[in-house]
A and B are shown apart, each in its own frame.
Chain A
Amino acid sequence: MILESISTILLILGAFFSLTGAIGLFRFPDFFTRVHAASVTDSIATILIIFGLILRTDFDLVTVKLLLILVFLLFTSPTASHALAKSARHGGLLTLPEIRATKKEDCSS
């Protein structure tokens, strides 16, 4: 019973954080800041939801599988974000501070 209520809290928090990240995708001004918003859903929301589900298992093979999903997602999602940011940078996309810097140069010259 206690486990189930803890799991309820974890699941609600996880749902809240993933919605937060999705809204951040729309509210943040440029690509690089949006990656941060996506990483909120990728890291903490995943951890909370998976742990919430783990507390609802009978602690057998299902628990191990859930932990494996968590480990896979925690290893792959930062790698994917990093690859995305790196290819955006190599593709020539500038970050906001850099755009501001070039703007200042244009004004002064």
Chain B
Amino acid sequence: MTTKSGKKTVYFASWILALAAFWLLLSGYLKPLLLCFGVASVALVVLLLRHMDNIDKQPQKLPLSFAFFRYSSWLMGQIVLSSIEVTKLIWGNSKNLSPAIEKLPVTSSTGRKRVLYANSITLTPGTLSVDVDDDHVTIHALNEKSLDVLRAGKMAKKIATVPVAKN
């Protein structure tokens, strides 16, 4: 029981710290009156958070980690590469287009990883996730080639290395 309440304290403390840092970064003022408003809004959000956790029984941990940043920088590289591809398609002849749609299986177990996967697919130009269900993602691609790349599963493997809190 003590470890459970200890965990809860850490959980709320991390949220309070993150929200306070967020508030300070957005406002940048250190006057007493405005600081009071900041404290009040942080308290309000944490109360709401506690209330919502009681309702849906799925406390959400903060998803920040070093692996996530590494993954996002890799994703930025992918975005640049595929944007250049799509730019060529836009300025080139529209007969080069070979749009394709296919349902690919997803191996990631947790919901968050599926969300991250589908979001990354949509974020890279040239591929678009049209529909997501429990173990498949329907993908529309501008080019057959980009579907082959996704089928090879490099992105899925990268996502598997990102530690995401289970829920």
Instruction: Considering the complex, give the chain A residue whose CB is closest to the CB of B144.
Output: A97
Contact A65–B99 (Cβ < 8 Å): no
Give residues in B with beta carbon < 8 Å to A: 25-26, 28, 76, 79-80, 83, 86-87, 89-91, 94, 97, 99-101, 118-120, 122-132, 138, 140, 142
**Number of A-B residue pairs having CB atoms within 8 Å of each other in the complex:** 100
A56 at the interface (CB under 8 A from B): no
A35 within 8 A of B: yes
User: Chain B contacts of A37 at CB under 8 A?
Assistant: 86, 90
The secondary structure that dominates the A interface is helix
CB-CB under 8 A from A47, the residues of chain B are 76, 79
A55 in the interface, Cβ–Cβ < 8 Å? no
The smallest C-beta distance from B74 to any residue of chain A, in angstroms, reads: 14
**Interface residue from B91, B99, B125, B130 paired with A86 (Cβ < 8 Å):** B130
The answer on a CB contact under 8 Å between B25 and A61 is yes
Q: A20 contacts the other chain (Cβ, under 8 Å)? A: yes
| Contacting residues, chain A, for B28 (C-beta < 8 A) | 61
Interchain nearest-CB distance for A106 vs B (Å): 19
Residues of the B chain whose Cβ atoms lie less than 8 Å from the Cβ of A97? 99-101
Q: Which 3 pairs from chain A and chain B are nearest by CB?
A: A78-B122, A24-B90, A44-B83
- Specify which chain B residues have a CB less than 8 angstroms from the CB of A68 in the assembled complex: 25-26
Could you jot down 13 A-B contacts, CB within 8 Å? A21-B90, A36-B125, A37-B90, A39-B123, A40-B125, A43-B83, A43-B124, A47-B79, A61-B25, A65-B26, A68-B26, A75-B119, A95-B101
Q: Give the distance to chain B from A58, nearest Cβ to Cβ, in Å.
A: 13
